[in-house]
Homo-oligomer: A and B are copies of this chain.
Amino acid sequence: MLDVRRLRLLRELSLRGTIAAVAEALAYTPSAVSQQLSTLEREAGVPLLERTGRRVRLTPAGQKLVAHAEAVLERLEQAAGELAASCHEVAGRVRIGIFPTAARALLPDALTSLAGRHPALEPMVSEIDPADVAPALRAGELDVALVHEYDFVPSPVEPGLATEPLCDETMYLAATTLPHVDLADGAAALGHWRDAAWITATPGTLCHTMTLRACHGAGFTPHVRHQVDEFATVLELVAAGHGVAMVPQLAVTDAPPNLSLVRLPLHRRTLIAVRSGAGAHPAVAAVAAALRAAVRRIGDPPARRCGGCGRADTRPHPRATEVCAS
């Protein structure tokens, strides 16, 4: 009988490529992972790993085995979900991973509605960068988490995880003054800030990559002066005249005054990610529902009306001036 714990290590190895990374992702020492994979290989009777330089790679047999491991883990996840569903009440701990902007914009409301609807549920929230979400979910450290998909930054398909869309936000360019130009021309509009001082997120984050790629798409490389992840701070900096920045819609719900927001023809999609098979778990489903409700209550992003072009908007505008560039 193949050991499922060991198969899980193998699956993670197929995703990360080094034993050390597997160990870090699943909270073991590299030594333990190495030993367990050796045992798995011995039991399998076939080489599963191939030492290549100082790394290690899966053999074809290993890759096939990973496919089976995926299926088994997914089925076990389903089983756990069905067990929890057979409980009359949605209860127990559910660990939620969320990025700072969403935490600020959605979390208070979502937690309140969760507490009202499922008093026995114990949501535990951790802020986490969307880039780290996948291993944390697979390792069982989180049960639900939010990830991003930016235009220009396709998120790779993550095996073992299932996602469904939560919301689709317009991206804005935040500045103090509007240039006296026609902003109607989509991507090229960004070019009007080609010589501005830019404020981006720190390198390595999706937001940072998104900003750079978008500017490159408009034909220039931004002069990055400040690197700040927290959008509220970023907006304050912009309002104080220290630069311009690209920010997502969720970040501008409490924008400071004296800020010009130009709607860009770029979008950021936020997805709810869970382990494959766990979507039917009632606690997970409840969290997803609460997050959706919170999004609806903020106002369905696509339904907003732009101060510049006059389209429908279901919520009060931010106090800042808003102009549509799309």
Kindly identify which residue among B1, B79, B83 contacts A76, using a CB–CB cutoff of 8 Å. Answer: B1
- List chain B residues, Cβ under 8 A from A78: 68
Q: Contact: A76 with B72, CB < 8 Å?
A: yes
Contact B72 A86 (CB under 8 A): no
Given A45-B92, A83-B45, the answer on whether A68 and B64 have CB atoms closer than 8 Å is no
Residues in B with CB closer than 8 Å to A44 are 83
Complexed CA–CA distance, A71 and B75 (Å): 8
Report the bound CA distance from A318 to B138 in whole Å: 65
Q: Is A80 an interface residue (CB 8 A)?
A: yes
Contact partners of A157 in chain B: CB under 8 A: none
Task: Select from chain B the residue with minimum beta-carbon distance to A70.
Answer: B75
CB pair B83 A46 closer than 8 Å: yes
1/0 contact string of A68-101 vs chain B (CB within 8 Å)? 1101100110111011101100001000000000
Which chain B positions have C-beta within 8 A of A68?
75-76, 78-79, 82
- Please tell me which one of the listed residues B1, B72, B76, B80 contacts residue A140 in the complex, with CB atoms under 8 A apart: B1
How long is the Cα–Cα vector from A65 to B81 in the complex, in angstroms?
10
- Contact of A61 with B by CB under 8 A: yes
A273 and B147 alpha carbons, distance in the complex (Å): 47
Write out the residue numbers on chain B whose beta carbons fall within 8 Å of the beta carbon of A87: 45-46
Number of interface residues of A (CB under 8 A): 29
A115 contacts the other chain (CB 8 A)? no
Q: How far is the CB of A67 from chain B (nearest CB, A)?
A: 9
Most buried by B among A1, A79, A80: A79
Q: Is the C-beta of A2 less than 8 angstroms from some C-beta in chain B?
A: yes
Interface: A4 (CB within 8 A)? yes
CA distance A72 to B84 in the complex (A): 18
For A59, the closest partner residue in chain B by CB is B86
For A82, the closest partner residue in chain B by CB is B64
Q: Is A60 an interface residue, CB under 8 A from the partner?
A: yes
Question: Which residues, 34 to 76 on A, are CB-close (under 8 Å) to B?
Answer: 44-46, 60-61, 64-65, 68-69, 71-72, 75-76
Shortest beta-carbon distance from A31 to chain B in Å: 22
Residues in B whose Cβ lies below 8 Å from that of A2:
76, 79-80
| Residues of B close to A1: CB separation below 8 A | 4-5, 8, 76, 80, 140
A3 CB → nearest B CB, Å: 8
Collect the chain B residues with CB atoms within 8 Å of residue A7's CB. Answer: 79
Q: How far is the CA of A84 from the CA of B68 in the complex (A)?
A: 14
Residues of B near A61 (CB, < 8 A) are 83, 86
Residues of B contacting A46 in the complex (Cβ-Cβ under 8 angstroms): 83-84, 86-87
> Is the pair B65, A83 in contact by a Cβ cutoff of 8 Å?
yes
Jot down 5 A-B pairs with beta carbons below 8 A, ordered by A: A4-B4, A46-B86, A61-B86, A68-B82, A71-B75
